[in-house]
Structure 1
């Protein structure tokens, strides 16, 4: 069985690197370039019945520093969601800031990797992916794809690194 990882990073180079490392480890990979697009892919928190499509995601790996919804905010939104909260989340960052790392781990991140991510880091993902696997090898998490998250968030709820509300 192949595990599906959603990789989120605004840097093209870092996205390509993590995608290559994950595919080398035989994971199915979907890459997006923002927290907003990750939430859109996952279905976010909108409850619209149209455009439903099942999407299996076993783990999310996200950059910390991104415009719009950063990795920490993405982690919080996932952990606050009743439908997404059990998806393991891994944060990655090029900045080694202990308070940032602790905050992410306290909010429910499984791991915090320093960039550049290495194959040895990717090897640490397997235990988190195996968590919750049933006897029937059913997917860990199936979420519904819904309307784009941008339609669900009012502009005053979206944070950027330039706009702290």
Structure 2
């Protein structure tokens, strides 16, 4: 009985993972959706790169991995990969590309530009099993902490400028109290 409880615990952990599946082919989209659900992943399946970007705009915190077809009308899977990796709030989401064409130059380009994996279609269960190692957890507290850190960093710059002005004013007062002008203090320092 304890072994069944541990396997149910494992599947409940995986159920927390949300995979965004993108494919313009209804058949391929339904196949990848079924394979992902077999692994107990939450799946959002869309038919285009543009729809994927809409989902990401609404659910940035909830998407743990994107799996996309390479060849789609409008925005290709490669273009989606580039948009995701080029956006600071999305770049940590792993992207996996799927294609029915086995073109080494295409595969290399996708992997060099940030894809975690490149699967040849038809995707099978053993391919989907490889996704586990790429899934990321993105709790909302992490996103909130990142936003706080970014705000803190941006507020440092004005504070540093103010500190520089204070130091300069203190240096001028010190020069005046020592009877040095700015030109004399520069010559004195150089000696």
TM bracket, shorter-chain basis: 0.7 to 0.9
Larger relative strand fraction: 1
Superposed CA offset, 1:26-51 (max 9, x none): 100000000000001111xxxxxxxx
In the other structure, the counterpart of 1:10 is 24
Shift of the 59–139 alpha-carbon distance from structure 1 to 2, 3 Å rule, reads farther
- Larger radius of gyration, structure 1 or 2? 2
Q: Which runs of 4+ in 1 moved over 3 A?
A: 52-55, 137-142
| SS across alignment from 1:31 | strand
Shift of the 108–24 alpha-carbon distance from structure 1 to 2, 3 Å rule, reads same
Q: 1:121, CA displacement in angstroms? A: 0.1
Contact 2:66 / 2:96 at 8 angstroms: preserved in 1?
Answer: yes
Contact 1:101 / 1:112 at 8 angstroms: preserved in 2?
Answer: yes
Q: Distance in 2 between matches of 1:53 and 1:99?
A: 32
Correspondence 1:85 to 2:91: yes
**Counterpart among 111, 122, 131 of residue 117 in structure 2:** 111
**Counterpart among 91, 98, 114 of residue 104 in structure 2:** 98
TM-score (norm 2): 0.64
Q: 1:139, CA displacement in angstroms? A: 6.3
Contact 1:6 / 1:31 at 8 angstroms: preserved in 2?
Answer: yes
Q: Distance in 2 between matches of 1:73 and 1:42?
A: 15
Contact 2:60 / 2:90 at 8 angstroms: preserved in 1?
Answer: no
Q: 1:138, CA displacement in angstroms? A: 3.4
Q: Distance in 2 between matches of 1:54 and 1:103?
A: 25
| SS across alignment from 2:83 | helix
TM-score (norm 1): 0.73
Shift of the 59–141 alpha-carbon distance from structure 1 to 2, 3 Å rule, reads farther
Correspondence 1:26 to 2:26: no
Larger relative helix fraction: 2
Structure 1 residues 1-165: aligned runs within 5 Å: 1=13, 2-43=16-57, 55-129=61-135, 131=136, 133=137, 138=139
| SS across alignment from 1:113 | strand
| SS across alignment from 1:126 | helix
More contact order relative to length (CA 8 Å, sep ≥ 6):
1
Question: How many pairs align?
Answer: 130
